[in-house]
Amino acid sequence: MQPLQQPEPARPVPLLEVCVGSLDDALAAEAAGAGRLELCGGLELGGLTPSLGLVEQVVRGVGLPVVSMIRPRAAGFAYSEAEFRCMEADASKSLEAGAAGVVFGMLTVNSAVDEARVAQMVSIAAGAETVFHRAFDAARSLDAALQSLINLGVTRVLTSGGAATAREGSAALRRLVGMAAGRIEVLAGGGIDAAGAAELLATTGCTSLHVGASTGRYDPSTTPAMSAALCDLRRLGSGAWRSVDPAAVAALRRAISGG
C-alpha cells in the first residue's frame, strides 16, 4: 500500500492593517476586510495622535484590534522633553481607552533609535502591542535600528525597507525579515496597492501589510482652494513644522499697544 500523503499545512491568511482617521473610516475598513486598524489624526500630515474621544469611539465601534498613533507633530522624530512627556501621557490614556497597542517612533538627532525613550514606551505599554512606525526608514542604519528594537522588546516595525515605497524596498524588507528571525514582526507599508500586494508578500516573506487605501473627500461647506489656504502648505512643502515665533508675537504686542 502506498503511504498516505499528508496534506500540506494551511498557509496563514496575511493580515491587512488599514490606517484610519475616523469612525466612518474604521467601519468601512472593517466591512471591507481589514484585520487591524491603525488610528491616527492628521493623516494628511503622515498621521498624528488622535483625540482621546476618537480613540474611545473607534474602540467601541468596531470589533477589530485598534492601535493608536502617538505622534505629537509632523516633520521628524527627534522630540523635545515636553513633547515626549505628552507622548507618554497620550500612550497611557489611549491604552486605558481600550487601544490594543501604541504606534510611535523616536530618533536621536543623529538618526539612530532613541533607545531610552523607546524603552519607556514599551514599559508604559505593559504587554500591549508596541509598534515602531516609519521613523524606522529615516534611521541611518536599518540593520542597527532593527537590532535595537529587537533588544528593546518592540512587537512590530512598520517599514518600506528604507525606500519611497515597499515595492522599491522589497529586497531590504526580505533582508530585514530574515534578520528579525521571528523576534519582531516586520510590517510592510508604503505605497501598497492591490496590483502588487500578493507579489510583495511572496518576495519579502512578510505576513502582513499596512495600507492607507484612501480616496479624496470634500467638505461642501467650503471650496477646495479655501480649505488648502487654511493649511500651512509652504512649511509642509519644505519639511518644516509650524512653531510660534516669540519675536513676531512681541512685535505685534508692541504694535497694538502704541509702541
What pLDDT, on a 0 to 100 scale, did the predictor assign at position 8? 59
> What's the rounded Cα separation, in Å, for the pair 191 and 211?
7
Q: Max CA-CA distance within the chain?
A: 104
User: In this model, does residue 224 exceed pLDDT 80?
Assistant: yes
User: In this model, does residue 4 exceed pLDDT 80?
Assistant: no
Q: What are phi and psi of 186, to 5 degrees?
A: -100, 110
Alpha carbon separation from 120 to 79, 116, 225 (Å, rounded) = 14, 6, 43
Q: Which domains does the chain have, with CATH numbers?
A: 15-215 (3.20.20.380)
> What's the rounded Cα separation, in Å, for the pair 100 and 65?
6
CB 58 within 8 A of CB 66: yes
In terms of Cα–Cα distance, which of 49, 24, 134, 158 is closest to 99? Answer: 49
User: In this model, does residue 3 exceed pLDDT 70?
Assistant: no
Task: State the Cα angle at 148 between 162 and 81, rounded to 5°.
Answer: 90
Least confident of 167-176, 193-202, 232-241: 232-241
Note if the pTM is more than 0.85.
Answer: yes
Length of the chain in terms of residues written: 259
User: In this model, does residue 233 exceed pLDDT 90?
Assistant: no
Per-residue pLDDT tens digits for 88-128: 999 999 999 999 999 999 999 999 999 999 999 999 999 99
> What's the rounded Cα separation, in Å, for the pair 157 and 101?
13
Torsion region of 249: left, alpha or beta (phi above 0 gives left; psi -120 to 50 gives alpha): alpha
Per-residue pLDDT tens digits for 179-223: 999 999 999 999 999 999 999 999 999 999 999 999 999 999 999
What pLDDT, on a 0 to 100 scale, did the predictor assign at position 1? 54
What pLDDT, on a 0 to 100 scale, did the predictor assign at position 175? 98
- Scanning the chain, the segments in alpha helix (DSSP H) are 23-32, 52-61, 81-96, 115-125, 142-152, 170-180, 194-204, 224-229, 233-238, 246-256
Per-residue pLDDT tens digits for 21-79: 999 999 999 999 999 999 999 999 999 999 999 999 999 999 999 999 999 999 999 99
User: In this model, does residue 81 exceed pLDDT 60?
Assistant: yes
In the chain, the amino acid numbered 144 is A
> What's the rounded Cα separation, in Å, for the pair 242 and 253?
20
Task: Enter the C-alpha cell of residue 8.
Answer: 500540506
